[in-house]
Amino acid sequence: MKCNNCQTENPPYAIYCYKCGKKLQTDVMNDVSTRIANYFLLFFKYYFLFLFKFCKILYNIIVYIIHLLIKLVKALWYLISSNIDKEKVKERMKEKIKSVQDKL
């Protein structure tokens, strides 16, 4: 599509001239299709941006849960490997489970 002002060739989807910046003369159908295409592009841009942020948050939650599970396993291993009587082991287990539940 040529600009009436500077005669520069522009792509068919352009609304303004790339060289002089004047609004291009377009037929109504081309203008409508360009607007629809722009709306779809904006929709998909924000949709994928939302999806990316959601996946990033979900990834951080999973990493945090795995980190807590590793701490719990280490605590269990320490309690089992040490020679502490069963009542103290049960109390510490309850404390660890309660602290993990409070964090979640």
DSSP 66-84: HHHHHHHHHHHHHHHHS--
pLDDT at 85 over 70: no
Q: What is the pLDDT of residue 65?
A: 92
pLDDT, the chain, mean: 82
Residue 74 lies in a domain: yes
Residues forming a β-bridge with 16: 23
Residue 60 lies in a domain: yes
Q: What is the pLDDT of residue 27?
A: 61
| 69: containing domain | 28-103
Pairwise CA distance, residues 65 & 91, whole Å: 22
pTM (2 d.p.) = 0.40
pLDDT at 83 over 70: no
Residue 5 lies in a domain: no
Pairwise CA distance, residues 6 & 38, whole Å: 25
CA distances from 21 to 5, 7, 18, 28 (A): 9, 12, 6, 20
**Phi, psi angle pair for 21, to nearest 5°:** 85, 5
Q: What is the pLDDT of residue 67?
A: 92
- The total number of structural domains in the chain stands at 1
pLDDT in tens, 20-70: 988 887 665 566 777 788 888 888 888 888 888 888 888 999 999 999 999
**Portion of the chain with pLDDT greater than 70, in percent:** 89
Q: What is the pLDDT of residue 76?
A: 83
Pairwise CA distance, residues 76 & 89, whole Å: 9
